[in-house]
Chain A
Amino acid sequence: KNQVEQSPQSLIILEGKNCTLQCNYTVSPFSNLRWYKQDTGRGPVSLTIMTFSENTKSNGRYTATLDADTKQSSLHITASQLSDSASYICVVSADFGNEKLTFGTGTRLTIIP
């Protein structure tokens, strides 16, 4: 069964600090991995997407890494801001058509001033 596991479940950090969120997956065949940000009461918004040939991708202060051999990904947030408080969801696609997405349960990140 395809699975995506994220850690930690929740994280609290001070504003301005960096943090790293983890994602391990067992999805086959692998097509791509994406990270979404979901603010409370809103729908998920895509941050980054990586195929098996990409091992890092940045979007502003967000940097995602992918190790397709170990089936691990991480999302690094630099110089956190209060607006970064949200759930971060790792999603793995098993085909190019996007119909076979496996979602992680997310990491709930809280930034405190």
Chain B
Amino acid sequence: DAGITQSPRHKVTETGTPVTLRCHQTENHRYMYWYRQDPGHGLRLIHYSYGVKDTDKGEVSDGYSVSRSKTEDFLLTLESATSSQTSVYFCASRPPGRFSYNEQFFGPGTRLTVL
């Protein structure tokens, strides 16, 4: 978890409300990722970023948007939270370059409950 923090760590919200999760890294990594982890599923990629203001969709992007205005911060927004978005959300980052193919560094996670 070193160098990557997530906030908040826990959040309970109601259906229909907007929610923003924050990921902050101090490693100056170019690439950042948002995943969700649910029972019975492996981690699934929501969105990722390959630089400031450069983002792309992952396999489960519906209902989520992201923004990256600074290298160190990657925000995940649920515009109108639904119960199906109850999950544990992980942020990850990695440095650029072919020889870093093997390492994504994960944050501690945010447990989100949508009632």
Residues of A within 8 A of B (CB): 4, 31-32, 34, 41-46, 49, 89, 91, 93, 96-99, 101-106
Question: Number of B interface residues, CB 8 Å?
Answer: 23
- B109–A31 CB distance below 8 A: no
**A101/B45 in contact, CB under 8 A:** yes
* B103 is an interface residue with CB less than 8 A from chain A: yes
Q: How far is B74's CA from A34's CA once the two chains are assembled, in angstroms?
A: 25
Q: Does B104 contact A (CB under 8 A)?
A: yes
Query: Given A49-B103, A99-B48, A106-B42, A42–B109 Cβ distance below 8 Å?
Result: yes
Interchain Cβ contacts within 8 Å, total number: 55
Q: When A49-B102, A93-B101, A98-B104 are in contact, do A43 and B42 touch as well, CB less than 8 Å?
A: no
The reply to whether A98 and B42 contact each other, CB–CB distance below 8 Å, is no
Residues A103 and B103 in contact in the complex (CB < 8 Å), given A42-B1, A98-B94: no
A32, A89, A103: the one contacting B44 at CB < 8 Å is A103
Q: Name, among A4, A32, A45, A101, the residue most crowded by chain B CB atoms within 10 Å (CB to CB).
A: A101
Known: A49-B101, A89-B43. 6 other contacts (CB 8 A): A42-B109, A43-B1, A44-B106, A46-B104, A96-B98, A99-B45
Q: Which positions in B face A, CB cutoff 8 Å? A: 1, 4, 31, 40-45, 48, 56, 90, 92, 94, 98, 101-104, 106-109
Q: Are A105 and B41 in contact (CB under 8 A)?
A: yes
- What is the chain A residue whose CB lies nearest that of B102? A49
The 10 nearest A-B residue pairs measured at CB: A103-B42, A43-B106, A49-B102, A103-B43, A96-B101, A44-B106, A105-B42, A104-B42, A43-B107, A43-B108
Given the interface contacts A34-B102, A96-B98, does A105 sit within 8 Å of B108 by beta carbon? Answer: no
B104 to chain A: closest residue by CB: A98
CB neighbours of B106 from chain A (8 A)? 43-45
**Minimal Cβ-Cβ distance residue in B for A49:** B102
* A102–B42 CB distance below 8 A: yes
* Chain B residues, CB < 8 A from A41: 108-109
Closest A residue, CB atoms, query B2: A45
CB distance from B84 to the nearest CB of A (A): 19
